[in-house]
């Protein structure tokens, strides 16, 4: 009706009140006829009509929307959306915290489990939630970047096990060598040859190759006959 008053440029309060009788029917019209003498302004009547004939299920709809709402963007946007819906439900902050814990991701839910003592102060609890969102998001991005950098590299079973535990892979001999770097350092401290591990000479004088000599191929003796198995 406010739009109609603006379009028709009706500004007189008596004209607005007279128009109510033309736009209402049934119980609303009966109520208006019985109580018209009590009101002198349209704004007063509008509030009464909203209270009697407004959407009585609006609070229930808003509550269902709050329960179904999940965090998909930032925590700040999620909290803002909850505050807009909570205007109709008027839930307490303590009740709202339980709903928030169900709407945020599991990583945040686990992080906020360490701050149960802050639930008595809802504003401080929400501030801590915003801080943990920033911290866990940065950690998640760093972990994803590390996995992307490591993706495609070939590792041995031992290295993969160490990487899962968070350890650095052990040192390996470089291409063409058969001695680990840690072994080389140990032999160097003991003043031994880093090739063969013996004392009395150094790398430049060592006659031993990096790798063990391969055995000559086996050549069977033509004079010997293979033994036959008995059936």
Lowest mean pLDDT across 39-48, 110-119, 158-167: 158-167
State both tokens at 7: 């379009």
What does DSSP assign to residue 170? Answer: P
Average pLDDT, the chain: 75
pLDDT at position 52 over 80? no
The pLDDT of residue 217 = 57
Average pLDDT over residues 202-219: 62
| Domain layout of the chain by residue ranges | 2-53, 58-146, 159-199
Q: Which residues contact 208 (CB under 8 A, 6 or more apart)?
A: 193, 195, 196
Q: Convert the pLDDT of each residue in 179-198 to its tens digit.
A: 677 788 888 888 888 878 88
What does DSSP assign to residue 176? Answer: T
> CB neighbours (10 Å) of residue 131?
13
Distance CA 68, CA 185 (A): 63
DSSP code string of 127-191: HHHHHHHHHHHHHHHHHHHHHHHHTT----HHHHHHHHHTPPPPP-PPTT--S-HHHHHHHHHTT
**C-alpha count within 13 angstroms, C-beta hemisphere, residue 225:** 3
């Amino acid at each position: 009706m406010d739009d109609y008053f603006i379009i028709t440029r009706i500004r007189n309060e008596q004209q607005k009140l007279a128009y109510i009788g033309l736009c209402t029917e049934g119980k609303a019209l009966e109520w208006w006829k019985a109580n018209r003498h009590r009101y002198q302004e349209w704004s007063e009547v509008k509030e009464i009509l909203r209270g009697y004939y407004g959407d009585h299920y609006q609070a229930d709809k808003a509550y269902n929307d709050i329960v179904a709402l999940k965090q998909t963007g930032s925590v700040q946007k999620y909290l803002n959306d909850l505050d807009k819906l909570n205007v109709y439900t008027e839930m307490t902050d303590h009740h709202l915290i339980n709903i928030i814990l169900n709407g945020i991701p599991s990583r945040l839910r686990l992080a906020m489990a360490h701050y149960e003592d802050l639930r008595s102060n809802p504003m401080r609890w929400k501030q801590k939630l915003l801080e943990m969102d920033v911290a866990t998001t940065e950690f998640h991005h760093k972990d994803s970047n590390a996995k992307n950098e490591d993706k495609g590299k070939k590792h041995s079973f031992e290295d993969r096990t160490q990487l899962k535990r968070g350890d650095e892979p052990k040192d390996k001999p470089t291409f063409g060598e058969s001695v680990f770097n840690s072994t080389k350092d140990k032999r160097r401290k003991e003043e031994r040859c880093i090739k063969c591990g013996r004392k009395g000479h150094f790398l430049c004088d060592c006659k031993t190759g990096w790798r063990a000599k391969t055995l000559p191929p086996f050549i069977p003796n033509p004079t010997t006959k293979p033994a036959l198995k008995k059936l």
